[in-house]
Structure 1
Amino acid sequence: MSTEPPNGGLQEFDLAVIGAGIYGIQAARTYLELHQNDKVTVFEASGDVGGVWSSERVYDAFWTQTPLGILEFSDMPLNGVPKSDTYRDFFPARYVADYLKSYVGSKIYAGRSLAARIRLHSQVETLSKVEEGWVLHVREHRGGDLSSAEFVARKVIDATGLTSTPNVPSIPGQDKYGGQMLHVKDFGRQQDSILRFEEPLRVAVIGGAKSAADVAYACAKAGNQVNWIIRRSGAGPAAFVSAKGSWPYSNANESFYNRFTSHFLVSWFLDESKTWLGRFLYHTNLGQAVIRRVWKAINRKARALANYDRQDGRQNGFYNLKPDTDIFWQNDSTGICQRGDFFDIIAHNVKVHRQDIKCMTGHGLELADGTDVQADSVIFATGWKRSHPKFRLREDEQDLVVSLGLSVPENQKHHLFSSYWNVLWIAAAKNVVARFPILKDRPPHHKEGSASNITPLRLYKGILPINDRSIVFVGQMLLGNNFRCAEVQALYAVSALDGTLPLPSKAQMEVSVAHMVSWDRLRYLSKGQPGNWLYWDLVPYTDNLLDELGLRSHRHNNWWKDMFAPCFASDLTGLIEEYRAKSRKG
């Protein structure tokens, strides 16, 4: 990776990419494929590439939620995973970390690799808008030395994503606790002290999502005494579905990542009027009943797999892992059960508590029901702070944050976030319910307080500021497979920066944003409040972006295959070439 220091002056770039996770890697790669001689630099705050997949953050029990053939980029297959290290084609995350290092090293543009353009240990702290573009104020760590530098870029791609700033809740008595505390982001660096020991440890895992499940499983499998604590006042534990796919699909991802299944997702990005199946499912009472029946069967199958009321887990509170809402709504998220012994390990070796935490003590935690949980180590699998942007803008440019369509606290939205948007929300919500009658019957659910205290993202397609064409945001949408999304978002974003993307008027984009956010809030309940939770929508969302670009090479010529075949990474091969040819003709 690049370690060259600033040259003493104000270095200028054609493009600055902030973040070297998979979205930043693809953004830089896509731009360089189209502009090989431009000056491009990627700023990465950590010491490695890959974001959540970096070697700094992976650990032994961290497995992929996406299988081989789907979790990779279209221009380089992920090879070398032994069959013995897979479970229905899901595999340990360490192979992804190695793959990404090889990927950035193998991409050469104008005689210089993508890896050489990445400045590690370079935290973009503030961003300022100037006539020439953007000034990046960067804090850099070089060999133990700390320095500051400024750079100018004509264009910026923010790829800081959703998993860069840990959310560690403030708990009364935290300062009294005498053991080890860490966020799951740091579990990979600390795993040796927790999983390889002379004497078993007492470990408390806090959180209800898949990351908490992975850590609890890892700690219990290693022989530790594990207490898994899931807030009663929170959205509840994640659901876990089988890694096995329904016939004729090999695994769960293949079952979901195809265009036939997309019709059952109630997705805003699928134009149901274009197929007879869509018209039947969405515009007839019988079709609505079919959608409900399909999801009821999926939910019943997942609960049967877990068997939450099993007798051998009652003493440890295994029943507390039962999700609060059905899988369709995704209010408590979903994970793949990609290890055959997962439920047995948890049921037999982990005490599961569904309680709020009253306080921390010198030796652990006290729960709201009075339970004393003793812990040598407390691991927070409590998600990530929802803050936009991850970098700060100058005090005199706070209006810019709002005008770009980024999230801000409700009390800071001031005059630029006027009642105009509230009118759009109300009108859009009525249209969404009219289009998707099934969303009228939403179940009782936990409403996340923090989600309502921040304005939703108002980026067109979740990527583009409506009022600015010099900066774009990728990786802000949460989907089931980020590798496919990263490739498609990168091409869409670069097209917008290049001015080749045909965009509607400002008013039309505002209406589109209002509809997308309103749909998200109705479709995904509390998780959808920020307007960026698209958990089931990978295929319709990426198809929608590519349709706007006017591209077709990712589609199969055979109607049957195009409808039913899983969307593998290799399907995106040739998209950049097609885009390049189309741009020349244009």
Structure 2
Amino acid sequence: MKIAVVGAGFAGLATAKILREFEHDVTVFEKAPDVGGVWSATRRYSGLRTQNNKDSYAFTDLPMPRDYPEWPTGEQVQAYLERYVSTFELRPYLRLATEVVRAELTDAEDGWMVTARRIGAPVSAPERFDHLVVANGVFSDPVFPQYPGYADLVRAGGKLVASSQLNTLDDARGKNVVVVGYGKSACDVAAEIGPVAESTTVVARHLLWKMPKRIANVLNMKYLLLSRLGEALFRYQELTGGMEKFLHGRGNKVRASMLASIGSVATWQLKLKKLDLVPHGEFADIANSQVSLSTDSFYEQVADGAIAVHRDAEIERFETEGDQPVAVLSNGARIPADLVVCGTGFHQRVPFLDDAISARLQDEQGNYQLYRQILPHGVPHLTFSGYNSSFFSPLSAEAGAIWIAAYLGGALDLPSVEERRKHVAERVAWMEERTGGKHARGTNVIPFSMHQIDETLDEAGVNISPRARAVQWLLPIDPSVYKNVVPRLKEKISLQPGKERVGSDS
């Protein structure tokens, strides 16, 4: 098939590479001038690092370089993706600095007409493709709160940006900076600019639990969170296997005690009580919407006074005092605000699809209705890649691409559309209850990354052996264990030459 892939992050590149192996004609559109998605030089904020150690945050057939630190920088991850493109000769299939402005189903709904524009050039003529893969990412369109007084902020020389737009420390040097949010990007940015800004203030509506990279400065967190055991500490929608049933049954006290102990150590290690930064709720709530590592030096700078944190507060409006822009907080504080950095999340949307198509992809609340986070119910010749925010983004991306290859090759025995609709509706309802609505419109599978990978590969019939999975209960996930999955799928498809190839919602 002739296939268009929109986006050249982990998901888009993995999809292109794997679909090429199944002899599809693939074109990847990327509006940035480089590959990487959130790791692109155009989008990575100063101080960006991975949340995973380098061994678990890699593709199955290309390990991270040995000389990389345990938690690589954003620049190193982008260089790794460039190496992936070079190693697997993907460059001829990439159209960088080229934005897809519109993708429309053909009149017969048997393919897509894709209209793109190279940056700085006129819009090109529409190009026909048999299948469209949306891999534009769920962290590509930042949310900006609508603050009263924003015009006053700008008139006084202030500036409001998303964390992904703070690409250099020079933008913050010598300024009074207000960082909004308490997730990974907000804390990373605050810690990075703390030493160079005149003042750094974090405004956090809700505090989140953070996991130290080394528990008690000894045990690497990868043995706790980046294994199947770590994932099993949190209750999945459907308990699978004896160990999960034990941990959430007769062994529930053991499981709860383990989490409580980690929470106590994290509270002590990060000095959260002393800093009045103990979040509300239990440490187990760390998995409600995201699992976030503590940022190097963040709490040390709070203790030293370089960073001030206003917890349980938000910006109500901007005002000016003389020539100085000021953020007025809900707790009554007035904070100088030359630069406001918003780490306030992202919109999940596909701007190049029209409203009619978008409506067919979502429920009434705007949640994406995607079977296995990949296949929409009512739009033919369309799949999604990377719409499963995961601990193991490279491995999750490959698993999704393998599922797409199996789908296009007619190697899946799918449930009926009615059954898939029921499955997705129940999954989204569970997400809603579990996360309090913070499931990124149905695209966040954290912390259940391996469950989602298992479901995807099981359905394609090419998952790794139970014995190999058993090892992952005590050791961090090693993506290289999955490197033989694609050859096995090739063999499976080759053994059914008479089966109809699909690519639609049939």
Q: 2:187 aligns with which of 200, 213, 217?
A: 213
Q: Percent identity?
A: 25
Match of 1:121 among 88, 97, 104: 97
User: What secondary structure does 1:203 align onto?
Assistant: strand
CA distance in 1, matches of 2:39, 2:8: 10
| Whole-angstrom distance in 2 between the partners of 1:34 and 1:504 | 24
What is the RMSD computed on CA atoms of the aligned residues? 2.4
* Alignment partner of 1:360 is 2:318: yes
Q: CA deviation at 1:562?
A: 4.8
User: In 2, are the aligned partners of 1:555 and 1:562 still within 8 Å (CA)?
Assistant: no
Deviations 1:390-414 (A, max 9, x none): 3231x6xx1x3333x335xx4xxxx
Contact 1:45–1:122 at 8 Å: present in 2 too?
yes
The question of whether the paired residues in 2 share the 8 Å contact of 1:205 and 1:378 is answered with yes
Following the alignment from structure 2 to structure 1, what is the Cα–Cα distance between the partners of residues 416 and 219? 44
Aligned to 1:173: 149
- Decide which of 251, 268, 271 is 2:240's aligned counterpart: 271
Provide Cα deviations, 1:147-203, integer angstroms capped at 9, x if missing partner: 344221100100012111111111111112122221111112x43332xx5xx2211
Contact 2:46–2:166 (8 Å) recurs in 1:
no
Map Cα deviations across residues 15-50 of structure 1 (whole Å, 9 max, x no partner). 000111111111111100111xx4311111222211
- How far apart are the structure 1 equivalents of 2:393 and 2:215? 20
What amino acid sits opposite 1:402 in the alignment?
A
Structure 2 residue 492 is the aligned partner of structure 1 residue 582 = yes
1:158 matched residue in structure 2:
134
1:281 paired to 2:251: no
Of residues 140, 160, 164 in structure 2, which corresponds to 1:185? 164
Paired residues of 2:289 and 2:446 also in contact (CA < 8 A): no
- In 1, distance between residues paired with 2:392 and 2:278? 25
Q: Normalising by structure 1, what TM-score?
A: 0.77
Shift of 1:67: 0.4
Aligned to 1:69: 55
When structure 1 is superposed on structure 2, of 62-71 and 527-536 the one drifting more is: 527-536
SS in 2 for 1:124: strand
Quote the offset at 1:124 in angstroms: 1.7
**Deviation per CA, 1:545-585, whole angstroms, max 9, x where unpaired?**
11111114x34646852542321121121111111112222
Give distance in 1, aligned partners of 2:291 and 2:165. Answer: 23
Report the CA distance between 1:475 and its aligned residue. Answer: 1.4
Shift in Å, 1:464: 0.7
Aligned to 1:51: 37
Q: Equivalent residue of 1:365, what SS?
A: strand
Length-normalised TM-score, structure 2: 0.89
Q: Which residue of 1 aligns with 2:504?
A: none
1:238 touches 1:332 (CA, 8 Å); kept in 2? no
| Residue matched to 2:300 | 344
- Which contiguous aligned blocks of 4+ residues in structure 1 show a shift greater than 6 angstroms? none
Distance change (3 Å), C-alpha of 1:491 and 1:560: closer
Is residue 258–residue 566 contact of structure 1 (8 Å, CA) maintained in 2?
yes
Q: Which structure features the higher share of helix residues?
A: 1
**Quick one: distance in 2 between partners of 1:157 and 1:19?**
9
* Whole-Å separation in 1 of the counterparts to 2:228 and 2:484: 20
Give the C-alpha shift of residue 269 in structure 1.
Answer: 5.7
Q: Is the Cα–Cα contact under 8 Å of residues 140 and 149 in structure 1 kept in the other structure?
A: no
On the 8 A contact 1:16/1:43 being kept in 2, the answer is: yes
**Alignment size in residue pairs:** 484
Counterpart CA distance in 2 for 1:561 and 1:332 is 27
Cα distance in 1 for partners of 2:267, 2:235 equals 22
Match of 1:238 in 2: 208
- Which stretch has the larger CA shift, 527-536 or 376-385? 527-536
Kindly indicate whether the alpha-carbon contact (under 8 Å) linking 1:127 and 1:136 is maintained by their aligned counterparts in 2: yes
Structure 1 unaligned spans of 5+: 1-12, 109-113, 311-317, 411-453
Contact 2:187 2:295 in 1 (8 A): no
Equivalent in the alignment of 1:401: 358
Amino acid at match of 1:356: E
Alignment match of 1:138 (pick from 116, 123, 143): 116
Where in structure 2 are there 5+ consecutive unaligned residues? 497-506
Question: Aligned AA for 2:116?
Answer: V
Mark the CA change 1:378 to 1:498 in structure 2 (over 3 Å): closer, same or farther: same
Q: What do residues 514-547 of structure 1 show as CA deviations (whole Å, max 9, x unaligned)? A: 2211221222223137333221101121112111
Pairing of 1:298-377 with structure 2 (within 5 A): 298-310=262-274, 318-319=275-276, 321-329=277-285, 330-331=287-288, 333-337=290-294, 339=296, 341-348=297-304, 349-354=306-311, 355-362=313-320, 363-377=325-339
The alpha-carbon distance between structure 1 residues 246 and 406, as it changes in their structure 2 partners (threshold 3 A), is: farther
Aligned partners of 2:253, 2:300: CA distance in 1, in Å? 35
C-alpha displacement at 1:215, in angstroms?
0.5
